Amino acid sequence: MAIIWLADDRATLVWNSRHFLSYFYFCSNRQNKNYCTSQLLVEYNTKEKMSEPWPENATLYQPYEAEQILLPENSSCLAVKAYLKMCNLPCDVRSCANAEFMSPGGRMTKLPVLQAGAFVFAEFEPIVNFVEHKSGAIGQSLDEDEKAEMRTYVSLTENIFTMAEYYICFMVPRVYEEVTSPRNGCVFPWPLNKIQNWSKQRTAKKLLKVYQWHDMEIEDVMDKVEKCCETLNMKLKEHEGPYFYGAEPCELDAIVFGHLFSVLTVNLPNMALAQSVQKFKPLVQFCRFIDDKYFQMKNTL
């Protein structure tokens, strides 16, 4: 039996199954090679673009600060803005109602969203990793051991405070009813605002469950926060300079400032989180220093 196989606009006559399988293997192998070649070209082009200078039109997208943004989102956005300022990298900050839905994804808040040339990143860690490919990244004076230690502190701070902020916003009824629900749904018409609030609360509770925070009492949450603050407080005292690692800033300074400053300055019906942070005066003073140096927001701490 003859089989007609069309390829490259040519008809190939395959007289038996053995010849057909041989030709099929040849085509598959050629396709795999082409695919691998294309992947290598994509990776090469990506590395070339990653090594390009910082774009002048870099834009950071976030929800509206006055009406919409929630505490964990505000902390993440402020941490990224602080990091970019410390790196002396210009960035246009734009507020928009759909910033969360512009995000390519993320582990926690999915915010802020950075568009830099051909690249789009979301959340603190991916944005920091992108900036480290540029020449203006901070923390270059640290040795490898210090960088590994510093990243451990960054992870600790982000995990503890983000979970505590989500807990306060979504698990404390009064905070959810008076602050979280109205702010999260303010940019949507009825009944879409109700649907969005339900979806956001469901996602937040699922995240808290993944990190095993969903069944905690608020006293347990504050205990974790205070232990984290004690760890950071001890680290801050190790060096004589104003930053965690001496005279120059690093990404730990940015992430700690973003969370602590947001916790201390955002008014909520339940201020237990801020009261826990205020017990550590060196950390409060650290937030004042970063605010005065990079922002001058003049918030009362």
Q: Is 29 helix (H, G, I), strand (E, B) or coil?
A: helix
The β-bridge partners of 61 are 94, 113
For the chain, what percent of residues have pLDDT higher than 90?
A: 76
pLDDT tens-place string over residues 124-177: 999 999 999 876 789 888 999 999 999 999 999 999 999 999 999 999 999 999
Q: Is 19 helix (H, G, I), strand (E, B) or coil?
A: helix
Position 276 in a domain: yes
**What CATH number is associated with residue 60?**
3.40.30.10
Taking the C-alpha atoms of residue 163 and residue 2, their distance in angstroms, rounded to an integer, is 66
Position 267 in a domain: yes
Specify whether 94 is located in the same domain as 150: no
Specify whether 213 is located in the same domain as 154: yes
pLDDT beyond 50 at 295: yes
71, 104, 133 - which closes a domain: 133
Specify whether 123 is located in the same domain as 161: no
Specify whether 113 is located in the same domain as 214: no
Specify the number of domains making up the chain: 2
Specify whether 195 is located in the same domain as 163: yes
pLDDT tens-place string over residues 51-101: 688 999 999 999 999 999 999 999 999 999 999 999 999 999 999 999 999
Q: Are 238 and 275 in contact (CB under 8 A)?
A: no
pTM assigned to the model = 0.84
**What CATH number is associated with residue 193?**
1.20.1050.10
Specify whether 285 is located in the same domain as 158: yes
Specify whether 100 is located in the same domain as 211: no
Position 11 in a domain: no
For 220, the domain range is 144-295
What's the pLDDT score for residue 296? 84
Taking the C-alpha atoms of residue 135 and residue 148, their distance in angstroms, rounded to an integer, is 20
Specify whether 83 is located in the same domain as 167: no
What's the pLDDT score for residue 133? 86
